[in-house]
Structure 1
Amino acid sequence: MAPTPDAVSEEGQALAVAAEALYLINLMVVPGLAFLGIVWLWLTKRKAATALARCHLDQVFFASLWAGVLLVVANAAIILLGGYDSPNTWVVVILYFTTCHTTLICFGAIGLARALAGKGYRFPLIGRPCDV
């Protein structure tokens, strides 16, 4: 017996919520480990996922990659401005956390709210187009 459309949409919404929750966990609680969870979901569930789940999976996967790039750029700026013992370090760290990191967390919270509502979400500037 084939699953009902409601069951499929609930499964897709659950996957979208899981992806968005892992994104926030990656940024705030256990970076790296949660990213591995995002990569695993993206590699194993994306092709068979509903449009809603695929949209959220793509958004969090690529936003996580962008977050990693921004972190590397911040560390490169610290090294170029005198290393980790320099007073400039704190300027870069504070600027990174107040602009980049906080913005990514806010976008993730909006994405989680949209996933909980069963709606698609595209990250501003860095998000890929969705078919939802």
Structure 2
Amino acid sequence: MSSEDDFGIPEEKLGQGLAVAAEALFLLNLLAFPGLAFAVLAGLWFKFRHSAPPLARQHLKQATWVSFWGGLLIVGLSAIILAAGGLQSEWTWVTLILYFTCIHSTLVLFGMYALIKALNGQTWRYPLIGPTVDGENTGKSS
């Protein structure tokens, strides 16, 4: 009999199954089911953000926020490129395709690395747009 918080991953560390599910949903959002996978990921974040073990909470937070900010980067800057260059210019399309490919590929690569970290029961922070890890040194002196 499986419980409500059994995500089908044998756990070596508490919360590892939820951490793996979060990172898998991040990749599904980028590669197969954009929007739908994000909705499930956001639902998991809202449901478990206070009750999940630290490992799962960290991966949920990272995957959810990077999905949000990554989506804004892809959609927002793509719209700016289109607006600035116009639909008829071939250079607009070259720039747009290069930009989209670079950002999207980078997010996929980081997502795969985050999934590996989750599978190993380790925390990881997405570079640049990832929120700080709980307990991470913020550079402030105490």
Q: TM-score, normalised by structure 1?
A: 0.86
SS at match of 2:99: helix
Other-structure match for 2:23 = 20
d(CA) in 1 for partners of 2:33, 2:89: 28
Q: Which residue pairs with 1:117 in the alignment?
A: 120
Identify the match of residue 41 of structure 2 among 33, 38, 41.
Answer: 38
Deviation (angstroms), 1:89: 3.4
Identity, % of aligned pairs? 46
Tell me if structure 1 keeps the 8 A contact 2:59–2:118.
Answer: yes
* Aligned residue-pair number: 125
Which 4+ stretches in 1 moved above 2 angstroms? Answer: 7-10
Deviations 1:70-94 (A, max 9, x none): 12211221122112x4313321332
- Cα distance in 2 for partners of 1:58, 1:92 equals 31
Q: Distance in 2 between matches of 1:70 and 1:22?
A: 19
Structure 2 stretches of 5 or more lacking a match?
1-10, 136-142
Q: Which has the higher contact order (CA 8 A, sep 6+)?
A: 1
Aligned alpha-carbon RMSD (Å):
2.0
Partner of 1:4: none
Partner-residue secondary structure (3-state), 2:13 = helix
Asked whether 1:61 is paired with 2:54, we answer no
Indicate conservation of the 8 Å contact 2:19/2:59, yes or no.
Answer: yes
Per-residue CA shift, 1:17-60, capped at 9, x if unaligned?
00000000000111000110111011011110011001101101
Quick one: distance in 1 between partners of 2:77 and 2:100? 13
Unmatched segments (≥5 aa) in structure 1: 1-6
* Cα distance, 1:8 vs structure 2: 9.2
Residue 30 of structure 1 aligns with an amino acid whose one-letter code is F
Secondary structure at the aligned position of 1:9 is classed as coil
Question: In the alignment, is residue 81 of structure 1 matched against residue 85 of structure 2?
Answer: yes
Instruction: Note if contact 2:78-2:100 (Cα within 8 Å) is conserved in structure 1.
Output: no
Q: Which has the higher helix share?
A: 1
CA distance in 1, matches of 2:79, 2:115: 28
